[in-house]
Structure 1
Amino acid sequence: MTEQSIGALALKIVDPWKWWQTALKDPSKIGSKDLPVHDSDPQQGYFRVRYSKDKPFEPVAIWKEDGAWLAYRAGREVKAEDIWTSCCRHPISHAAYEAAIDGKGWPDDDATVAAQVKPPEPGIGDNSAPVDEADVLKDQIENALKGIDAYKKITDDATASKAQSLRNRLNELSGDADKKRDELKRPHLEAGKVIDKHWMPLVKSAKEGANAVKAAMDAYETEKLRKRREEERKAEEARIAAEAAARAAHPEGEVLEAPKVETQPAPPPEPVGQIRATYGKAASVSVKIVVDQVTDWPALATYMSNHPECQDLLRKLAQRALDAGRTAIPGITTTEAAKVR
């Protein structure tokens, strides 16, 4: 048997589509000894490829004809050797290839994403009037948001894949809108920085001076309050001492007639003081109870533990401790949760 006839027989025995068919059934084998991948050594089959994560997949067909490799990407002829290593890990069925060529998208596409990222047909919109980019993005975002209902509950990997596509699209639209917002806002921010650089030192220095004066006034009024409270305390002690002396001055058992005291209305609350100035407005002086120092942190934490803000803070601190690898945290239960990034 000649070498040429042996080669022809080998082609009949070895199915040239075998690599692709096996990869289609079990993509995890791609790159293994069962389905090796080598540069410039393409295999027949149908695949898809994209050269950027924010670009849609394009269909690829590779086959050998009359001893020469042929390859088409989205209907455009390319070199099989050049595109092989980019597309080989994404095998697709022939039906999926045909549907993509016909512009029907991919089976695992989210419908909204497929509709929005489909490339425009040549010539469409070339002579259209200028449009507001915000209006275009608004329409795209509103249409994308309509697709959220399909993923309120995800029950299989295929749906999760479509949901991720919609999430990526919404994040992409959010990024586009934020970039445009930043682009339009930046000149104003730069102008604002120039103004702030000129005026804020004046604002801060004057405010810091006013705050220093206020701190001195607070200290003065607090000292006045302390002296007043001390005088009140001494007056109360003197009253108690006088009553005790009066009781001691009478024989034991003598009944004293209670003094007649005219009923007086309750004294009005202590008026709020004012510091009047010869320039500008007066300052009011009020008395409030303030924390001086914490003497028992556990007791304070227990007392405040029913406050929603305290609970929220404790929950965040507990999560931070878990994220740092600590597990023995009292007062909580934990569970495993998958977080998509």
Structure 2
Amino acid sequence: MSRPLCCQNGFTCNTKGNKRMTADQYAWWRQALKLAGGYRELTHDQLLLLAPSADSPESGFFRNRPFKDAPLVPVAIWRDAAGNVICLQGGKEAEADKVWNYACRNPISEALYHSVTAGEPWPDEPPSVAKEHNLPPKTGDLHKDLTAELAAEKETVEGFLKKPISTQEQADQAGVWAKRLSGIANKADEQFNVEKRPWLDGGNAVDDKWRDLRTDSKDLAKKLKKHGEAWLKELDRLEQDRQRKAREDAARIQREAAEAARKADEAKAVPSVGTGLATDFAAEAAREADRLAHQLADAEREAQARPVFAGRTGAKMSLHTYWVANITDYGALVMALKDEPEVREAVQKIAGRIARNKDAALPAGMERVPDKRAA
């Protein structure tokens, strides 16, 4: 890999990568990169944790969309010896202030910056079907072009679905891929409606033409999300365990802090006589109480929930909580719903409808339970 950008621009680095300057201009980026985990998008809460504020461009490596729905491009920002802000976006000079609004949330490693600049794909980017399947040039016929694109996507997705997701990069790819397939479905839906509007009396022909394209792309998107569900649930389980342990640590530190505060109060009441040992003990007790108070604040922050997701902005895949019916006493439930027509066939459907309304009172014999699914 080529030398780091900080070295390419005249800054001397030691073996740890720290620049010998009056200040480390890459400190904010390093902290952001640590929170992001390499290339993942920072949440709003994570941005608030960073200091200084992310309101103005900071030196580092990022990725950005030059405009809506544009492909992601690598971004490098740094300050030269005179303090001038220099910004490269996709290898071309750009205005850092215009790039920063999106780029600040998307720090990447220097290695990834150079990799993408050299032509390698983003780690969360699904395979390019245009390259792998040698898609023909666009014909201008949206149906033919989307059909060819979907056929190529379908072949690649089916291979991907044969193996379980085992890495974060694969989970991210599934989320972005599902978004890409949903995009095909959306284009098909839009054109479908345009073509059908003048043909309300003869709409069946249009229905037949677009049915497979619309449903197959949506079904594949759903399969991709379902495929990533086990991975997301495991991440959710680990996060729940982490929060539980963090809460236990916070509770323990709280007890210790309370005990330290009590001892500090007792020490204050001891008269300062003789060699001053009582005074020293009181001061030490106060310092210990203050240390534990700060440690408690850190532990409480650690116990806060962290987001679990795959993909990126506009193509995120995360666990959503859906409320479904769990029938605990079928006989009691049937009796409670005895006035409904065809009770035995409809009872699960009715219970499901009730469960989805979280404010609805539950009849005897059922309960409302969460059901997390990839969405």
Secondary structure (helix, strand or coil) at the match of 2:47 reads coil
Q: Does 1:26 align with 2:35?
A: yes
Please give the alpha-carbon distance, in whole angstroms, between the structure 1 residues aligned to 2:114 and 2:79.
19
Q: Provide the rounded CA distance (Å) in 1 between the counterparts of 2:166 and 2:372.
A: 15
For 1:44 and 1:179, the matched residues in 2 are separated by: 42
Q: Which residue of 2 aligns with 1:184?
A: 195
Structure 2 contact 66–99 (Cα < 8 Å) conserved: no
Q: 1:91 to 1:176 in 2, by over 3 A?
A: same
User: In structure 1, what is the equivalent of residue 58 of structure 2?
Assistant: 43
| DSSP-derived class of the 2:119 partner | coil
Taking the aligned partners of 1:62 and 1:173, their CA distance within structure 2 comes to 35
Alignment match, 2:372: 338
The answer to whether the 8 A contact 1:49-1:87 is kept is yes
Q: CA deviation at 1:90?
A: 0.3
State the shift of 1:138 in Å: 0.9
- 1:249 alignment partner in structure 2: none
Q: Equivalents in 1 of 2:142, 2:367: separation in Å?
A: 49
Answer yes or no: is the 8 Å Cα contact 2:54–2:104 preserved in 1: no
| Preserved CA contact (<8 Å) 2:32 2:50 | no
Report the equivalent of 2:142: 133
Alpha-carbon shift at residue 32 of structure 1 (Å): 3.0
Structure 1 stretches of 5 or more lacking a match? 1-9, 119-124, 193-295
Query: Aligned to 1:322, which of 355, 370, 374?
Result: 355
* Closer, same or farther: CA 167–52 of 1 in aligned 2, 3 Å: farther
Structure 1 residues 171 and 330, CA, compared in 2 at 3 Å: closer, same or farther? same
Q: 1:66 is aligned with what amino acid?
A: A
Query: Given the alignment of the two structures, is residue 150 of structure 1 paired with residue 160 of structure 2, yes or no?
Result: yes
Contact 1:46-1:92 at 8 Å conserved across structures: yes
The amino acid that maps onto 1:338 is K
Distance 1:115-1:332 versus aligned 2 partners, 3 A rule: same
- 1:88 counterpart letter in structure 2: C
Query: CA 1:155 to 1:338, structure 2 compared with 1: closer, same or farther past 3 Å?
Result: farther
Counterpart of 1:99 in structure 2 is: 115
SS in 2 for 1:91: coil
Say whether the 8 Å CA contact 2:57–2:96 is kept in structure 1.
yes
Match of residue 164, structure 1, among 175, 179, 183: 175
2:57 maps to a residue whose letter is: P
Question: Structure 1 CA distance, aligned partners of 2:131 and 2:67?
Answer: 13
**Inter-partner Cα distance in structure 1 for 2:54 and 2:151:** 45
Work out the CA distance in 2 between the residues paired with 1:303 and 1:134: 45
Q: Is the 8 A contact 1:47 1:91 kept in 2?
A: yes
Is the 2:75–2:87 Cα contact (8 Å) retained in structure 1? Answer: yes
Q: What does residue 87 of structure 2 align with?
A: 71
RMSD: 3.7
Distance 2:351 2:172 in 1: 32
Residues 233-259 of structure 1: per-residue CA shift (max 9 Å, x gap) = xxxxxxxxxxxxxxxxxxxxxxxxxxx
TM-score, normalisation: structure 2:
0.48
- SS of the residue corresponding to residue 12 of structure 1 reads coil
Match of 1:264 in 2: none
The offset of 1:107, in angstroms, is: 0.7
Q: Residue 106 of structure 1 aligns to a residue in which SS?
A: coil
Higher RCO, 1 or 2 (CA under 8 Å, sep at least 6)?
A: 2
- The alpha-carbon deviation at position 82 of structure 1 amounts to 2.4
Contact persistence 1:47–1:61 (CA under 8 A):
yes
Query: Deviation of residue 303 (structure 1)?
Result: 11
1:60 is displaced (CA, Å) by 0.8
Q: Which amino acid aligns with 1:321?
A: I
The 3-state SS of whatever aligns with 1:338 is strand
Q: Is the 8 A contact 2:59 2:78 kept in 1?
A: yes
Task: Select between 19-28 and 147-156 the one with higher mean Cα deviation.
Answer: 147-156
Q: Which amino acid aligns with 1:87?
A: A
Aligned to 2:226: none
Alignment map for 1:1-341 (pairs within 5 Å):
12-27=21-36, 30-32=46-48, 34-39=50-55, 41-50=56-65, 54-67=69-82, 68-111=84-127, 114-116=128-130, 130-146=139-155, 147-151=157-161, 153-155=164-166, 157-189=168-200, 310=345, 313-325=346-358, 326=360, 328-332=362-366, 335-341=369-375
Give per-residue Cα distances to partners, 1:28-64, cap 9 Å, x unaligned: 575335433344x321111011266643211111111
Q: CA deviation at 1:132?
A: 3.2
Aligned length: 213
- Residues 148 and 35 (structure 1 numbering): CA distance in 2 closer, same or farther, change over 3 Å? farther
